[in-house]
Amino acid sequence: MHLLHIGANGTFSVMKRLFGILRRSVGAMALALLLVVFSSSCSRIKDIRLASCSVESVSPIGLHGLSAELAVQIENPAMQFSLSDIQGTLFHKGNPIIVYDAEPIEVAGHSVAVYPLPCTATLSPGVRLMDIISLMRGYDANDFTTDVSAKVRLRSGLSKTLRFKDIPVKDLLE
State the pLDDT at residue 112.
94
State the pLDDT at residue 64.
86
* More confident: 50 or 74: 74
Residue 9 has pLDDT above 60, yes or no: no
pLDDT, one tens digit per residue, over 136-153 is 787 888 898 889 888 888
| Count of domains for the chain | 1
pLDDT, one tens digit per residue, over 47-58 is 777 777 777 888
CA distance 137 to 12: 12
For 39-66, what is the mean pLDDT?
Answer: 73
The values of phi and psi at residue 56, to 5°, are -90, -40
Which residues does 26 contact at the CB level (< 8 Å), separation at least 6? Answer: 53, 70, 86, 88, 100, 102, 117, 119, 148
Tell which residue, 100, 82, 83, has the closest CA to residue 146.
100
Residue 113 has pLDDT above 70, yes or no: yes
Could you tell me if 50 and 110 are in contact, meaning their C-beta atoms sit under 8 angstroms apart? no
Could you tell me if 87 and 72 are in contact, meaning their C-beta atoms sit under 8 angstroms apart? no
Residue 95 has pLDDT above 60, yes or no: yes
Q: Predicted confidence band at 19 (pLDDT cuts at 50, 70, 90)?
A: low
User: What range defines the domain where residue 62 resides?
Assistant: 2-173
* Highest mean pLDDT pick, 34-38, 39-43, 117-121: 117-121
